[in-house]
Structure 1
């Protein structure tokens, strides 16, 4: 058994960095620091805990947005339903409405399509 959580970093591919940053900042009330590293344009989600696992929006020729492949679940709200209703009102494509995991015992999840065409999950302890 691992001594620590295995997730240290996640990347979400983007075609248009300004559009992607605006999408996430608008809908999830988060902020990003933007950097260019080795030809890779990045926007790194800012967190209070600098050592916490986090995500970055990444624009690079090796990265293509899409709905196939890995699915990241983001914890961006204490209660999921108001957040997903806000996305729905903003006409964001919600693929999976708020759904309990094991009857809510393991929290709640939802899946949406972001501005770049990525399938992204949301998770929260409360529905």
Structure 2
């Protein structure tokens, strides 16, 4: 058994960094700081806890947005239903409406399509 949570970092591939940053900032009220590492353009999600696992939007020739790859689940609010309703009303394509995991014992999930065509998940303990 691992002594710590295994996830330390996640990357979401983007084709248009400005569009992707605008999408996530608008719909999820999050902030990014942008940087370039070698030839990789990145926008790193800002968190209060600098040691916490986080994500970056990444534009690089070897990373292509896809609806058919790994799915990251983001915890972006205390309740999932109001967040999913808000993004749906804003025109974001919801791929999987809010559904419970083990009758809600393990929280709730939903899937959406981001501005780049990626399938991204949302999770919250409360519906």
Question: Which residue does 2:105 correspond to in 1?
Answer: 105
Give the 3-state SS of the residue equivalent to 1:3 in structure 2.
Answer: coil
- Whole-Å Cα distance in 1 between the matches of residues 26 and 69 of structure 2? 25
Give the 3-state SS of the residue equivalent to 2:96 in structure 1.
Answer: strand
Question: Which residue does 1:43 correspond to in 2?
Answer: 43
Deviations 1:75-106 (A, max 9, x none): 00100000000111011110000001111000
Question: Which residue does 2:94 correspond to in 1?
Answer: 94
Aligned length: 127
Question: Which residue does 1:124 correspond to in 2?
Answer: 124
- TM-score computed with the length of structure 1 as normaliser: 0.99
Give the 3-state SS of the residue equivalent to 1:27 in structure 2.
Answer: helix
What's the offset of the Cα at 1:19?
Answer: 0.4
- Whole-Å Cα distance in 2 between the matches of residues 24 and 49 of structure 1? 19
Q: Does 1:24 align with 2:24?
A: yes
What's the offset of the Cα at 1:31?
Answer: 0.1
- Whole-Å Cα distance in 1 between the matches of residues 96 and 121 of structure 2? 9
Q: Does 1:82 align with 2:82?
A: yes
Root-mean-square deviation (Å): 0.4
After TM superposition, which residue ranges in structure 1, 4 or more long, deviate above 4 angstroms?
Answer: none
- TM-score computed with the length of structure 2 as normaliser: 0.99
Q: Does 1:62 align with 2:80?
A: no
